[in-house]
Structure 1
Amino acid sequence: MVTHLKFVTLDVFTTTPFKGNPLGIVHLPPGSHISQTQKQTIAREFNLSETVFVHDVDPSNDSDPHSRRIDIFMTSRELPFAGHPTIGTANYLHVQGIKKLITKAGPIPIRFSSEEGIVSAAIPHDTHLNSRVFGDIESTLRVASLHPTSEIRSAELEAPLFSIVNGMTFALVCLPCLDLLSKVSPGAFPCAPRDVIDAGWSETFIARYYYVLIGTSLSGSGARTVKLRTRMMEERIEDSATGSAACALASFLALREYSETQILFEITQGVELGRRSDIVVEVRVEVGEDGKKRVKEVQLGGKARQIMEGTLVVPPV
């Protein structure tokens, strides 16, 4: 019976210690049987935005030495996919030759750029723009959950509700300036997801992702780069880096705001927390025979720095 597990922690989307977004990674030895409840207990003990469990394989009996299965847990629930755990784990495992992570949302190929030192992951996506916004159900919202500043409140009511995959949804709140961005804060979501999200998509994690456009440029070859500042708010916490939200925002903007079929998004998050995170998202879109644009590929990229390592006691069953 396994009584102790090895773990490391990393700061993700940075190379500076104690910046970026912390991540716990726990190794599950081959043949170990750790229950969902035990994993959830460990994630609560770390008390980070996410903790990853890596299913290790016996090297002498490894049918796929370039892949590893991972489970991603918040302190309260398991997630099918999340960006910063994916990039952190990809950074940590790529030195072992791992080129693919198997998540509940599907397989995620990873690659390493030795020139830039960035690990990127081909993010699974099944995008969906919800048919309603908060403004459509304003009379039923918990009013105290909306921001008291009128300009922010109006942006919240008009924000598109966009899913990067079924189960991960974000209210994408566009603000005109950094001064307003500095005023947002965590708070309860204004309604239950089922009250506003389309049928078939309402069983979802949902949060508010605020953003300000800093600038956009075109290279000589016509490639577009978009720079953004962001903040992600849940009921009780602010996240210093949110890869899934960054992918959702980049995909939405690529589909709705820009004409290019390949766009690079450089996203800075966590500044207000003193934990600056630098997130890179590259989105490729295609136009179908029906004339509609669709997301073809989403690449999430970033760096990471290991901070701690040790062992933990396996919780009782």
Structure 2
Amino acid sequence: MTTSRYLQLDVFCARAGGGNPLGVVIGADGWSDADLQRFATWTNLVETTFVLAPTTPAASYRLRIFTPAKEIPFAGHPTIGSAHAVLETGFAPARDGVLMQECAAGLLPVRVEGEGERRRLFVQAPGARVVREGVHVEPILSYLLRGIALGALPPACVEGGRRWWVAEFASEAALRSWQPEHASIGTLARETDTLGLCAFARCANGTDAGYDLVVRAFPAGVGIVEDPASGAANGLIAAWIALREPHGALARGYRVSQGREIGRDASITIRIDEPGADGRRAVWVGGQTHTVIDGRTRRLT
């Protein structure tokens, strides 16, 4: 049986072991949909991706993203990690410092900065829109956040590639020590057709700490208790901040710390462009990726 190149990566971390694991199969064009899902279920990683030949000349490659249970149109850490795998294996070169990813969310540019261990990749997050906002617009959300001092921005349901509830806490310490009711987050996710709740807090001494925002993500909608590094969720938080605070301290970008509460140390960089002709501000989510396993695999039959 023909084998395919397989990489297991650690995404959004300065060094391996601190980020979000990802499995990437290179060149699985002959696999059926059932083959792809069966393999992703077997790896039991948060996401497994499959790099395929593009269907349009504008794209460098085509990407399909699977959780252990289903295919999804977009996610941040699988996009960044897969772009790393494309470069590491020579599947496709960057053109003028950019890879163009074809996926179910459309054509997404990935900027390539640097080389080797220091290389950082940035994906332009899909355009976002605010679905609902306010702590009292959803009773379960109000229940989850009861007794918590909230930050400057109201909670909101934001959609862009994925759909999340985002909520700002008034203090980093309160967010880091928070013990949420995961069953209630699951109910919130199911009843509002979202992934769950992503909470963030600003760091009072960002220059000294090395980050400006702390993020904790609870994607109960896909059966995950807490995510160590969330590209899509961070993209939606950035879009929310850019919309509500276009001239604020974070309006052009910032650094994120995520995952320390579950034994990781993810580092994510956000960049926010100036408004374009349509008034929209592109959000770029990026960081480093490290190869942990490089081998070959075959279809599971």
- Write the distance in 1 (CA, Å) between the matches of 2:157 and 2:60: 33
Q: 1:284 aligns with which of 263, 273, 296?
A: 273
Match of 2:159 in 1: 163
1:85 aligns with 2:78: yes
Q: 1:273 aligns with which of 246, 262, 282?
A: 262
Match of 2:137 in 1: 136
Counterpart of 2:123, as a letter, is: A
Deviations 1:287-315 (A, max 9, x none): 878xxxx4331222111100012333412
User: 1:240–1:137: structure 2 CA closer, same or farther, 3 Å change rule?
Assistant: closer
What are the residue-to-residue correspondences of 1:193-212 with 2, within 5 Å? 195-196=191-192, 205-212=194-201
SS at match of 1:40: helix
User: 1:282–1:46: structure 2 CA closer, same or farther, 3 Å change rule?
Assistant: same
User: 1:186–1:64: structure 2 CA closer, same or farther, 3 Å change rule?
Assistant: farther
* TM-score in terms of structure 1 length: 0.77
State the aligned residue count: 282
Tell me if the contact between 2:59 and 2:102 (Cα under 8 Å) persists in the aligned partners: no
Match of 1:113 in 2: 113
Counterpart of 2:64, as a letter, is: D
- Write the distance in 2 (CA, Å) between the matches of 1:112 and 1:190: 36
Q: Which has the larger radius of gyration?
A: 1
User: 1:234–1:194: structure 2 CA closer, same or farther, 3 Å change rule?
Assistant: closer
Q: 2:147 aligns with which of 129, 147, 150?
A: 150
Tell me if the contact between 1:283 and 1:295 (Cα under 8 Å) persists in the aligned partners: no
The runs of at least 4 consecutive aligned structure 1 residues that moved more than 6 Å come to none
Aligned Cα RMSD in Å?
Answer: 3.2
User: 1:4–1:135: structure 2 CA closer, same or farther, 3 Å change rule?
Assistant: same
1:295 aligns with 2:255: no
Deviation at 1:142, TM superposition (A): 9.1
Tell me if the contact between 2:14 and 2:267 (Cα under 8 Å) persists in the aligned partners: no
1:315 aligns with 2:300: yes
- Write the distance in 1 (CA, Å) between the matches of 2:28 and 2:114: 30
User: 1:190–1:89: structure 2 CA closer, same or farther, 3 Å change rule?
Assistant: closer
Tell me if the contact between 1:29 and 1:56 (Cα under 8 Å) persists in the aligned partners: no
User: 1:171–1:137: structure 2 CA closer, same or farther, 3 Å change rule?
Assistant: closer
User: 1:287–1:110: structure 2 CA closer, same or farther, 3 Å change rule?
Assistant: closer
Counterpart of 2:69, as a letter, is: S
Tell me if the contact between 1:52 and 1:71 (Cα under 8 Å) persists in the aligned partners: yes
Deviation at 1:137, TM superposition (A): 3.8
- Write the distance in 1 (CA, Å) between the matches of 2:108 and 2:52: 15
- Write the distance in 1 (CA, Å) between the matches of 2:247 and 2:260: 30
Q: Identity over aligned residues, as a percent? A: 24
Tell me if the contact between 1:215 and 1:228 (Cα under 8 Å) persists in the aligned partners: no
* TM-score in terms of structure 2 length: 0.81
Structure 2: where are the runs of 5+ without partners?
none
Deviation at 1:247, TM superposition (A): 0.5
SS at match of 1:239: coil
Match of 1:243 in 2: 231
Shifted more, 304-313 versus 258-267: the winner is 258-267
Higher strand fraction: Structure 1 or Structure 2?
1
What are the residue-to-residue correspondences of 1:27-106 with 2, within 5 Å? 27-30=26-29, 32=30, 34-56=31-53, 64=57, 67-95=60-88, 96=90, 97-98=93-94, 99-106=99-106
- Write the distance in 2 (CA, Å) between the matches of 1:121 and 1:183: 30
